[in-house]
Amino acid sequence: MEIVFLCSSFPRYDSDGASVFLRKLAKALVQRGHRIHVIAPHDLLVDPDWKPQGIVFHRFRYTFGSPRLAYGAGILPNLRRNPLLWMLLPGFLLAMAWKTWRITRQHHFDVLHAHWILPAGLIAAVLRPLHGIPTVVTAHGSDIYGLQGRLGSLLRRCTLAHCDAWTANTPATHDAAADRGVPPGEVIPMGVDSNQFGTGDRERGRGILDNEIFLILFVGRLIDWKGVDVLLRASAIVDANRRIGLWIVGDGPERAALEQTADSLGIKDRVKFWGQMGYDKLPDLYAAADVFVLPSRRIPGIGQEGQGTVILEAMAAGCCVIGGDSGGIGMLIENSKTGVLVIHDDPQVLADAIEHLISDPDTRLRLAEAGRALVNLEYDWNIIAGKFSRLYGRIV
């Protein structure tokens, strides 16, 4: 099939981590014989020479200046941080719609797959009667939790009621999206490249770090609902006699405040902020860690974790995981079986969970092995691509 992805974010160069799950899904679909076109916003970091096999890019420009609306922390966090970016939004929507209209007129597509209900899903639904292409819309979570109220509900209903099928990455996302009048969707999670993340090198990842240090790892955007401040406070509670290290990989608008928090808590010597790292470096980092923590919290009207694919990456690498019980994380972690699920936004509870795993390496190993088995059984990209392929076949 000829499939076109319509999205507000897609990797811009080979090692880019921006919405990398879409690249992995596209690659897995290509391996199944499909051809993928991607309509996504332009950015100054786009590498024009990067041309993955079986994937054709159609980038659209939406401003004459520096494009700052998409990428980074994401459209909604970017708008909250800098209200002046609202002036770019009409141009962004028009540019995305115009590009979609042109590309769907120039090429024959079997399926249009829009990622995120807003803005891509809404534009796909509006254009559906004009181009006649069977349309799938996928809700990833941030498009649900970050836009509440009557307007958000109305736009979701309009979008999901006028596409041929829609999916959500977790049951939590599905239930949050399924307003009255919306037909039932299908839960199809995003996956993980089990082979890539199962080949990390612990020694290379740790470098010169003392093997006696218990290493805690976080990977993700540094935004408020990721709860990195909770992790910092939990690390400060952990017994000072414990030799622990905390590596924070990622960047975002909260970084400066988080660095200041680490300093004020007196744990600066325990914490290393790595900033943004190439996606190809992550397998070694997961292999280096003794435990991976995603302490996401629920902030009404702002956001919560849609799925938490970094948890799947850590599991695939054989790393024990701890997650905050918010959004879709509960679908990935069965407490005390495939990881540790803790009450979100509670540093003491998180510190207790870390202390327990430091003291009990057997439990750590058991949870890590169960997590890896879960990923191989349910979340490998080949499995996920098969589910989407069957969905495409039903609506064509």
pLDDT-derived band at 241, boundaries 50, 70, 90: confident
* 69 and 138 housed in the same domain: yes
Asked whether residue 327 falls in the same domain as residue 370, the answer is yes
Q: 227 with 138, same domain?
A: no
Q: What is the pLDDT of residue 293?
A: 98
- Between these two residues, 78 and 110, which has the higher pLDDT value? 110
Residues of the chain with pLDDT > 90: what percent? 85
What are the C-alpha distances in Å from 317 to residues 157, 203, 205, 363, 369? 39, 14, 12, 17, 10
Mark whether 30 and 85 lie in a shared domain. Answer: yes
Same domain assignment for residues 213 and 155: no
pLDDT band at 80 (very low <50, low <70, confident <90, very high): confident
pLDDT surpasses 80 at 148: no
Distance from C-alpha of 229 to C-alpha of 179, rounded to nearest angstrom? 33
- 229 three-class SS: helix
pLDDT exceeds 90 at position 197: yes
Please give the residue range of the domain that contains residue 169: 2-191+380-395
**How many distinct structural domains can be found in the chain?**
2
**% of the chain residues with pLDDT over 70:** 100
Residue 182's pLDDT band (cuts 50, 70, 90): confident
- The domain spanning residue 148 has which CATH number? 3.40.50.2000
Residues 7 and 36 in one domain: yes
Give me the amino acid identity at 186: E
Please state, in angstroms and rounded to a whole number, the distance separating the CA atoms of residues 334 and 339.
6
Give the pLDDT confidence score for residue 324 in this predicted structure. Answer: 96
Instruction: Check pLDDT > 90 for residue 65.
Output: no
